[in-house]
Chains A and B, each alone.
Chain A
């Protein structure tokens, strides 16, 4: 009996384990190996260079700038996406008319791919908004927002909110609906107004969904690539440490450009490993902090 069970287990697990190792585990270790070679992405004879690729990235202004800009974008984006999603979820769980239509409406942008979205919004920023700005005399919009290094990160975050807030909203909606109605009713009988209920009951009760949404938005912002590629390609150019850099080139795009357009696969891979380590640290810290705030029923 036991033996037969074991065979079944192995048979059922094999496809998942096999595909997971082939597309995740093997490439990961292969990646660590490549990061210590001078691989260019094509040739088959590799030279081992040790940690040279790791050293190189810390003296490269473009990479350091990408790191800073990724942090900036992540902070802005995590806060804004969650705030917007939270208020949307409050809106669609209240008694507004047509709340199901609203829910669907807020969620739909999430179904459009990031690349397509990037091109659509590029057109909106470059042509529609500038035309509006010129005709209505709004000087802020006369020049495209993605062509200015001070606004480009905000513009990117704005598009990401438009795309992603609906998804995060759904998680919040599920959490709000999971809160027993009698809890809220009891509080309101006791004289707690909406603001107090929100602060003392709703938000603490939603703590475990904050763990999830913060994790999702954090990793999503850190790994941003598709929108970055299609909306700005890293532009506009700017100066950093007296070198020309692309002011919206985030880490993932910088890694891609290093490995693919510059044919420095080894260096790109080394950056990717650093990227991985940073992301693991940041998300572990975030999850452990959030876990402490969760309450059990």
Chain B
């Protein structure tokens, strides 16, 4: 009997030992680069001496919830993603200091706290209103003139009157619904325009105010008016029921002139092109949310960072994987050419091929950019507290003023939420 027990135990330990070989697991948030990342990880594993397994959670799925589930299951990934200070505060017991790495010296957008680098910027990303160049030319509208809300409104009215000529369903493609999983996009990403659009890069005034639970009413009203304008001219079915795919497809097939999205749709567009679809030429205008200030720049930031699990036995390998991604030709080729990302590292000189990514790179090069601030909000706040208010505005169930009042009301909860997250 004892022998049997000993044998079983020995077998179990052997099994555990094999499972714990220097394998590293990379949990990825950007579904758009899923295929490219998996391919790169497989190629990399061939020569690295250890196995890298990459997998993606995202595109409407709850990322941080899934990492938490993995933690509870004793199956934490070695590399995972955080999206800012909120995520850092949750995970700080599991985040390795990466200040001494080579890539940390080659980037200006690493995730830092108190001067120490903890996060590897996945990419530089930008969003705004993507436009269809051909359709705007046909309507004789110069996108360079669309820098204020009233200019945009005039253009929308003109385009709305030319629906049949242009063969479009609506002027804008944008999605807000809770059911479509789009509250992340409205409540976090789009709301960043309120937090930082038109301010110097990295300016914290509005963000600090938000963290004290206060709103800048005039600014919020201007923002809400701009959002309401987008909603009014949006394809209503996509706006109220659509998901990410509906949102991008309508724009990619020329059914709308504008699309509220970021340059991360480039790989999806490239894939559509490869499958034989006719993808129009595109460009970006900014979040033109003011009448008294012209907005020419885009919202550009490193929105998410890879962090290394500090409690992983294989963290050295995990760091090496990230180092090589920036230092080797294969890694750079993956980031820029295969995954179509705008690189965040000064030693990478390749340029992405997508129209929207090119515009983001141009804006970043010219310094005509505004940071994203949603990472400073409490966790899940944009998605759960703000997202439904956007949907109500889209349904026309509330007015712009009510939108402002409801957002201000939600803001009063922020100090307490932030404190409990410390």
Q: Which residues of A contact B (CB under 8 A)?
A: 38, 40-44, 62, 122, 126, 130, 144, 146-147, 231-239, 242-246, 256-257, 260-264
Shortest beta-carbon distance, B220 to chain A, in Å? Answer: 15
Bound CA–CA A243/B410 (angstroms): 9
- If over half of B's interface residues share one DSSP class (helix, strand or loop), that class is named, otherwise mixed; here it is helix
Taking CB atoms, residues of chain B closer than 8 Å to A144 are 237, 241
Bound CA–CA A173/B297 (angstroms): 68
Per-position contact with A for B373-411: 1 when CB-CB < 8 Å, else 0?
A: 000001111011101111110010110000000100100
Q: Are B395 and A236 in contact (CB under 8 A)?
A: yes
Bound CA–CA A242/B397 (angstroms): 12
11 additional A-B residue pairs with CB within 8 Å, beyond A42-B93, A260-B64, A262-B384 = A144-B241, A146-B241, A231-B179, A234-B179, A236-B178, A236-B179, A236-B240, A237-B387, A244-B388, A260-B65, A261-B64
Q: Which residues of B contact A (CB under 8 A)?
A: 62, 64-65, 68, 71, 86, 90-91, 93-94, 177-181, 237, 240-241, 378-381, 383-385, 387-392, 395, 397-398, 406, 409, 417, 420-421
Shortest beta-carbon distance, A36 to chain B, in Å? Answer: 14
**Nearest 9 CB-CB pairs, A to B?**
A235-B178, A235-B179, A237-B388, A237-B391, A261-B380, A262-B380, A260-B65, A244-B388, A263-B379
Taking CB atoms, residues of chain B closer than 8 Å to A122 are 179
Shortest beta-carbon distance, B320 to chain A, in Å? Answer: 26
Q: Whose C-beta in chain A lies nearest to the C-beta of B389?
A: A244
If A126-B241, A244-B388, A263-B421 touch, does A257 touch B178 (CB 8 Å cutoff)?
Answer: no
Q: Are B388 and A263 in contact (CB under 8 A)?
A: no
- Which of A44, A126, A146, A263 has the most B CB atoms < 10 Å from its CB? A263
- What are 19 of the A-B contact pairs (CB < 8 Å)? A40-B420, A42-B91, A44-B93, A146-B179, A232-B178, A233-B179, A233-B180, A234-B178, A236-B179, A237-B389, A237-B391, A257-B384, A260-B62, A261-B62, A261-B384, A262-B381, A263-B64, A263-B86, A263-B90
Bound CA–CA A246/B384 (angstroms): 9
Q: Are A260 and B389 in contact (CB under 8 A)?
A: no
Bound CA–CA A165/B389 (angstroms): 36
Candidates A41, A147, A233, A244; contact of B90 at CB < 8 Å: A41
Bound CA–CA A172/B240 (angstroms): 41
Q: Whose C-beta in chain B lies nearest to the C-beta of A234?
A: B178
If A237-B389, A237-B395, A239-B392 touch, does A261 touch B65 (CB 8 Å cutoff)?
Answer: yes
Q: Are A233 and B392 in contact (CB under 8 A)?
A: no
Bound CA–CA A232/B64 (angstroms): 20
Bound CA–CA A243/B388 (angstroms): 9
Candidates B71, B86, B240; contact of A147 at CB < 8 Å: B240
